[in-house]
Amino acid sequence: MDAVESAVAVISAVDAGQRAAVAGVLERAARADGRQAVSEQGRLALRGGRRQDVRHLLQHDVSGALVGYAQVDGEGTAELVVDPERRGHGHGRALATAAAEAGAERVWAHGGHPAARRLAGEFGLELSRELRQLRRGLPVEADVEPVLPPGVTLRTFVPGQDEDAWLALNAAAFAHHPEQGSWTRRDLDQRIAEPWFDPAGFFLAERDGRLVGFHWTKVENGLGEVYVVGVAPDEQGSGLGRALTATGLRYLGGPRGLDTVLLYVDADNPAALRVYEKLGFTVHEVDLMYRRPQTP
């Protein structure tokens, strides 16, 4: 189809009207695609006010209507979405070009959407990461027992008490992870303020009063989620991660009464994949990240 003229504005914060317009595009895209086009982190950044490391790209047509949105974070990672009713007119290509000019070095294609793959190919981007969404039914079988290592006890998160200790453990547990391991107090507080937050589903493991592991569960839109499981480096290999995962699964399928749970795991993490496969998880869909080719 013929390209339609559009203009892209790059800003560091969105006002209430802009936020509502973007929310409308995201909602229509989610209905059309069956998934969110922008990650939770991106949606929080959209709502959370000015952040110096985040750029918002608003794409309007000649009438002033918002037709596309992109976000580029401080690491140069971008997420893009075009209103489903305005696709096929070259808006995605124009938005991707603007994102590259705004510093994007890599881009997510949530759900591995074919149009996103084609666009990545046009820009000469190469596949660099595969994030798998796994799912399984609930409740869990009787043999999925949370057997804690000797000396480890379990309790739930206490808001106003555990934030700093949890952030330190999260940073240590995910020192290798570019996204999870870099969480700040602001990142944590934003999620605690979300409607889905429930400390009763946020499990902490302690040894001699020191946090050594956690399983933060999430319930949203009728689905349970193994939101994040972390284990201190000196406790890894002890079985604590599996015990914490089982604890959360029993909570989601028991007190919360859910019938499905999901989680996300990188395809290049075979140890975690084996653990989750043994717990009955199977691949539901994938998110793909593309990046500029790396120079030797």
DSSP character at residue 279: T
Q: How far apart are CA 4 and CA 76, in angstroms?
A: 27
Strand spans (E) along the chain = 6-11, 55-61, 66-72, 77-82, 106-109, 126-137, 152-156, 202-207, 210-220, 223-231, 260-266, 282-291
Q: How far apart are CA 53 and CA 157, in angstroms?
A: 29
- Kindly report, residue by residue over 74-121, the tens digit of the pLDDT: 999 999 999 999 999 999 999 999 999 999 999 999 887 777 778 888
Q: How far apart are CA 34 and CA 8, in angstroms?
A: 26
The CATH number of the structural domain formed by 6-124 is 3.40.630.30
Please indicate whether the domains covering 6-124 and 134-285 agree at the CATH topology level: yes
**Per-residue model confidence (pLDDT) at position 127:** 93
Which of 2, 294, 291, 272 has the alpha carbon at shortest distance from 120?
291
Task: State pTM to two decimals.
Answer: 0.87
Q: How far apart are CA 281 and CA 41, in angstroms?
A: 24
- Residue 139, preceding bond cis, omega within 30 degrees? yes
**What is the chain's mean pLDDT, rounded?**
92
Q: How far apart are CA 1 and CA 87, in angstroms?
A: 10
pLDDT for 211 beyond 90: yes
**Per-residue model confidence (pLDDT) at position 2:** 47
Domain boundaries, the chain: 6-124, 134-285
**Per-residue model confidence (pLDDT) at position 296:** 62
Q: How far apart are CA 276 and CA 281, in angstroms?
A: 6
Dihedrals φ, ψ of 11, to 5°? -135, 165
For residue 143, what pLDDT band results from cuts at 50, 70 and 90?
low
**Per-residue model confidence (pLDDT) at position 53:** 86
Find out whether 263 and 276 touch, Cβ atoms under 8 Å: yes
Q: Is domain 134-285 classified as CATH 3.40.630.30?
A: yes
What whole-number percentage of the chain has pLDDT above 90? 79
- Kindly report, residue by residue over 286-296, the tens digit of the pLDDT: 999 999 887 66
Tokens (6 digits) for 127: 């596949």
- Kindly report, residue by residue over 20-79, the tens digit of the pLDDT: 999 999 999 999 999 999 999 999 999 876 777 899 999 999 999 999 999 999 999 999
**Per-residue model confidence (pLDDT) at position 1:** 41
**Per-residue model confidence (pLDDT) at position 4:** 64
DSSP character at residue 259: S
Q: How far apart are CA 63 and CA 65, in angstroms?
A: 6
Find out whether 260 and 134 touch, Cβ atoms under 8 Å: no
Q: How far apart are CA 136 and CA 245, in angstroms?
A: 13
